[in-house]
Amino acid sequence: MEGGIRYMKTREAAELLGLSPRTPETYRWRGGGPAFSRFGSSVRYLRSHVVAWAAARRARSTSDDGPRRE
């Protein structure tokens, strides 16, 4: 795509994260997942947003609560 923008389908985003395709669907419903865009009835994710979302969830131990929501 022009300008290096890379949109992915839900299945592709899930594969990138190593998740079931149902997991991003659940995040869209509940909130807390990567940012997404709607184009008509289609949902697409920017690859850079998915990667940034995953990076923000890095933890150093199992007792690390991760990022705080405001």
Name the helix (H) or strand (E) containing 7. Answer: strand 7-8
Spatial distance between the Cα atoms of 12 and 58, rounded to a whole number of angstroms: 21
Residue 68: what pLDDT?
A: 55
Q: Is residue 69 part of a domain?
A: no
Tokens of 23: 């997991």
- What are the strands of the beta sheet with 42-46, ordered from one edge? 7-8, 42-46, 37-39
Q: CATH number of the domain that 31 lies in?
A: 1.10.10
User: Could you read off the pLDDT of 54-70 as tens digits, one per residue?
Assistant: 999 888 788 766 565 54
Q: Is residue 40 part of a domain?
A: yes
Residue 70: what pLDDT?
A: 42
Q: Is residue 70 part of a domain?
A: no
* Domain that includes residue 46, residue range: 2-55
Spatial distance between the Cα atoms of 51 and 45, rounded to a whole number of angstroms: 10
2 or 37, which is more confident: 37
Tokens of 3: 């300008």
